[in-house]
């Protein structure tokens, strides 16, 4: 991400989106990482996943907090 | 039974008190009877914004502690013909002195006499905020297009949800279209997107607000400027009418369309 050329309103939105996930979940970045690792361990048993692309969001939808994760699959695990 | 609405923000200085006075004032223009309650015990300002600082004899705290009746404590706004009343906050007490149960009971009783009761919350998320949101069925969260204000608004919305106040909507204040066009300010869409909360209004940056506050007049009751138009739109939206957001429109043409519709 190149913050030098980016409009500052976009930077503001990105920073907010990032910090609000932490604020809403009330989890520290370390605990957040740990949760990602655990998710990788479970989902990774069944799918070949792209660990670098995992996204975790805490969003507000119709007055409720919703945890959303996006875990891209590279392929199926063949057992 | 009237609607009880808390006006809050988390962050200070975003315009809660000005918003309370003007949204309340705008509703009287639609024929509604409105009570504004200053909940900022120890740091009261709503009386000053409304130009009523010399008329306050009793405060909401006096009502809660039985030193006077609500009718004795309420002060009439000068231009709304008795449709807009103020209950001032005590300067001699602390926020901790607000008894939540008594506040709820008193506000519920007052809501019988008015179409709208607005509770102007203090900044912060402590006892004053608790006391302001406890009686409310609905919340207006005032936010400016800054990362700090949006973050605090998010926290406040979360806390309101936990308290069961699920009807939250946003008032984006001090909206500056010049900065938006230069991509230097969060847009209202950005803010709605990030906070996942619907919009009640967008109030443009408007120097006339400063003049009105200096004089102790409520803008929407004394002038027709872009911000005054925005406050009227919020009042319409609270009443369930569909209106557009004039602060988003370019040029004067759309603004004049709205004015014709009235």
- The residue extents of the domains of chain A are 28-79
User: Cβ A9–B187 below 8 Å, yes or no?
Assistant: yes
Q: What's the burial of A59, exposed, middle or buried (CB within 10 Å: 0-12/13-18/19+)?
A: middle
Q: CA of A61: which chain B residue's CA is closest?
A: B196
Closest by Cβ to A8, choosing from B150, B184, B193: B184
Nearest to B196 among A9, A23, A61 (CB): A61
**Which residues in A lie closer than 8 A to residue B141 (C-beta atoms)?**
none
User: With contacts defined as CB-CB under 8 Å, which chain A residues touch B157?
Assistant: 60
Query: Which of B224, B201, B146 is closest to B179 using CA atoms?
Result: B146
Q: What was the pLDDT predicted at B253?
A: 46
Closest partner residue to A13 (CB to CB) among B154, B155, B190 is B190
* Number of A–B residue contacts, CB under 8 Å: 48
B144 vs B28: CA distance, rounded Å: 25
Q: What is this structure's pTM?
A: 0.89
Q: How far apart are CA B176 and CA B184, in angstroms?
A: 10
Residue A79 — pLDDT band, cuts 50, 70, 90? low
Q: Which is nearest to B174 in space by CA: B212, B236, B138, B226?
A: B226
DSSP 3-state helix, strand, coil percentages of chain B (rounded to 5)?
A: 45, 15, 40
- Chain A residue with the nearest C-alpha to that of B158: A24
Per-residue pLDDT tens digits of chain B, which is 262 residues long: 999 999 999 999 999 999 999 999 999 999 999 999 999 999 999 999 999 999 999 999 999 999 999 999 999 999 999 999 999 999 999 999 999 999 999 999 999 999 999 999 999 999 999 999 999 999 999 999 999 999 999 999 999 999 999 999 999 999 999 999 999 999 999 999 999 999 999 999 999 999 999 999 999 999 999 999 999 999 999 999 988 899 998 654 444 445 544 3
Instruction: Domains for chain B: give ranges and CATH numbers.
Output: 3-261 (3.40.50.300)
Which of B150, B158, B196 is the closest to A16 by Cβ? B150
Are the beta carbons of B197 and A60 separated by less than 8 Å?
Answer: yes
């Amino acid at each position: 991400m190149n913050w030098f050329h980016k409009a500052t309103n976009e930077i503001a939105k990105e920073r907010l989106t990032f910090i609000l996930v932490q604020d809403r979940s009330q989890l520290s970045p370390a605990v957040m990482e740990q949760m990602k690792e655990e998710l990788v361990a479970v989902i990774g048993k069944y799918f070949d996943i792209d660990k670098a692309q995992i996204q975790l969001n805490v969003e507000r939808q119709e007055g409720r907090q919703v945890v959303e994760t996006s875990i891209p699959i590279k392929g199926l695990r063949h057992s | 039974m009237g609607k009880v609405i808390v006006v809050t923000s988390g962050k200070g200085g975003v315009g809660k008190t000005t918003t309370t006075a003007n949204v309340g004032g705008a509703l009287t223009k639609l024929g509604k009877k409105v009570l504004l309650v200053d909940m900022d015990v120890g740091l009261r300002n709503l009386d000053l914004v409304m130009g009523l600082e010399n008329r306050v004899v009793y405060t909401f705290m006096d009502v809660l502690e039985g030193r006077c009746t609500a009718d004795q404590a309420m002060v009439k706004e000068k231009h709304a013909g008795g449709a807009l009343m103020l209950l001032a906050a005590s300067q001699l007490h602390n926020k901790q002195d607000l008894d939540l149960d008594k506040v709820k009971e008193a506000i519920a009783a007052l809501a019988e006499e008015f179409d709208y009761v607005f509770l102007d919350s203090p900044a912060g998320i402590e006892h004053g905020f608790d006391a302001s949101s406890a009686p409310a069925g609905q919340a207006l969260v005032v936010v400016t297009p800054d990362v700090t204000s949006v973050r605090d608004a998010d926290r406040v919305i979360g806390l309101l949800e936990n308290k069961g106040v699920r009807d939250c909507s946003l008032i984006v204040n001090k909206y500056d279209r010049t900065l938006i066009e230069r991509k230097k300010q969060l847009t209202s869409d950005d803010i709605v997107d990030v906070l996942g909360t619907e919009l009640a209004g967008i109030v443009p940056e408007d120097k006339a607000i400063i003049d009105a506050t200096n004089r102790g007049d409520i803008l929407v009751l004394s002038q027709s400027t872009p911000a005054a138009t925005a406050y009227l739109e919020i009042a319409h939206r609270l009443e369930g009418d569909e209106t557009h957001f004039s602060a988003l429109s370019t040029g004067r043409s759309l603004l004049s369309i709205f004015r014709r519709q009235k």
